[in-house]
Amino acid sequence: MVRAFFNHDFYVVYFLGEHLDKNSAKYFVALSTNVKIGAITFKKLLDFFVNLEEAWDANINDLKKTGLKEEQIKAILEVRKNVDPDKEIEKLRKLNIDFVTIKDKNYPSILKEIYDPPAILYYKGALPKENDLLVGVVGSRVCTTYGRQVAEDVSFNLAKEEIIIVSGLALGIDSIAHQAALDAKGKTIAVLGCGLDTIYPSSHQKLALDIVKNNGAILSEFPLGCPPYKSNFPMRNRIISGLSKAVVIIEAAIKSGALITARSALEQNREVFAVPGPIYSRNSEGTNSLIKMGAHPLTNSEDLFFELGIKIKAKKQKEIKGDTEEENMILEILSREPSSIDKLKELSKLDIAVLNSTLIMLEIKGMVKNIGGGQYIKV
């Protein structure tokens, strides 16, 4: 991304200089401003014409020869009439948004493997490198304490192994996965279902900023100004799975959007992992169903490492001991299974005031975590 420039013309030359086909790059941007011109339309244009500059100048008869439907041709003609490619580049510049086209070397090669790869990706931050390993982690927007805990553990452990976490910046499991990757000092990529000039949901503005600041990226195939239409999210989901070598589904109702990601992953020949859950939980109906249909059950991060043939790099931490007898007593009782205050009081025999003050100290030291509802786990 350019940090300083002398004038508009210099910037445009520099900005487009990273693209293999400099003459066509701005036409990718211009044509993508109409959402009716999608991945398949771009593919037909690129298959027929030498480049998009030629397609931009083509007459109606030549456009018909590409096999495009009348609706797509009408959309192209509408864009040519109303959109100035150079002005679209200027809009991106002002917002510090970069883009990569399917013709560029730095376009993620794994994404090119899918049936309908986006012709253009807008992004802020750093795109993954060729040898990077990406894993999608998605799930319910309304997650349980169990789902939150699993999403944190899995994403943190994967990020510790330098695996890039891919998710959708949504409420619930998605945002938890992104944050856990950041907590592990790892990288994460958020794929949006709207233009990058809109962060959706708006409450995740800071999270999006943190992702970019920490060498990750937010990206989208949708142009500036495109709202988060409901119909955009299945398209967004195919990019999450398309970028990933494997996808982990953590909590999903039977009609969850996360299952659309799982279906996309299967169609794209990606590995699908599902976290088993309580048989009476609605949030586990989808994941349990996936396991019955052949998805890999994920009970810990090692399941994924084994299936993908990943050699663990991070060293396991030594067991941390407390500074007092009371701290060690609580650490001995706690595990990754949540325990209530009442259970801790019963097993430790500590006075409630002593128990509470000890838990607070252990939280400050990062040894235990309050996961809500008076439930504690060992970190």
Residues 194 and 54 in one domain: no
Answer yes or no: is 107 within a domain: no
Residues 160 and 25 in one domain: no
Instruction: Check: CB of residue 274 under 8 Å from CB of residue 154.
Output: no
pLDDT of amino acid 170: 96
CA distance 139 to 128: 23
Contacts of 15 by beta carbon, 8 Å cutoff, 6+ apart:
2, 89, 92, 93, 98
Q: How confident is the model at residue 335 (pLDDT cuts 50, 70, 90)?
A: confident
pLDDT of amino acid 269: 94
Which structural domain range is residue 235 located in?
Answer: 134-308
Residues 364 and 276 in one domain: no
Residues 281 and 332 in one domain: no
Q: SS3 for 220? A: strand
Residues 271 and 234 in one domain: yes
CATH number of the domain residue 253 falls in: 3.40.50.450
Residues 276 and 337 in one domain: no
Residues 146 and 193 in one domain: yes
Instruction: Check: CB of residue 359 under 8 Å from CB of residue 331.
Output: no
Say how many domains are in the chain. Answer: 3
| 92-106, 147-161, 234-248, 298-312: range with lowest mean pLDDT | 298-312
Answer yes or no: is 124 within a domain: no
Answer yes or no: is 60 within a domain: yes
The CA-atom distances, in angstroms, between 196 and each of 39, 91, 255, 277, 280 are 18, 12, 27, 35, 39
Mean pLDDT computed over 290-300: 93
pLDDT of amino acid 185: 96
Q: What is the pLDDT of residues 1-50, one digit of tens each?
A: 333 333 455 445 545 656 767 678 999 999 999 989 999 999 999 999 99
Reported as type and span, the H/E element at residue 14 is helix 8-16
pLDDT of amino acid 33: 96
Contacts of 231 by beta carbon, 8 Å cutoff, 6+ apart:
none
Relative orientation angle of helices 173-183 and 205-213, to the nearest 10 degrees: 40
Rg (CA), the chain: 24
For residue 294, what is the DSSP state?
Answer: T
Mean pLDDT computed over 282-310: 91
267 alpha-carbon distance from chain centroid: 18
Answer yes or no: is 108 within a domain: no
Residues 273 and 360 in one domain: no
pLDDT of amino acid 2: 37
Answer yes or no: is 170 within a domain: yes
DSSP code per residue over 91-105:
HHHHTT-EEEETTST
Q: What are the tokens at 104?
A: 């560029």
**Tokens 């859950």 sit on residue:** 277
CA distance 60 to 71: 12
Answer yes or no: is 114 within a domain: no
Answer yes or no: is 229 within a domain: yes
Say how many Å lie between the first and final Cα of the chain, rounded: 39
Residues 141 and 36 in one domain: no
Residues 22 and 66 in one domain: yes
Answer yes or no: is 65 within a domain: yes
Residues 203 and 339 in one domain: no
Torsion, Cα 371 373 374 379, to 10 degrees, reads -10
Residues 201 and 144 in one domain: yes
CATH number of the domain residue 372 falls in: 1.10.10.10
* pLDDT top residue among 359 and 123: 123
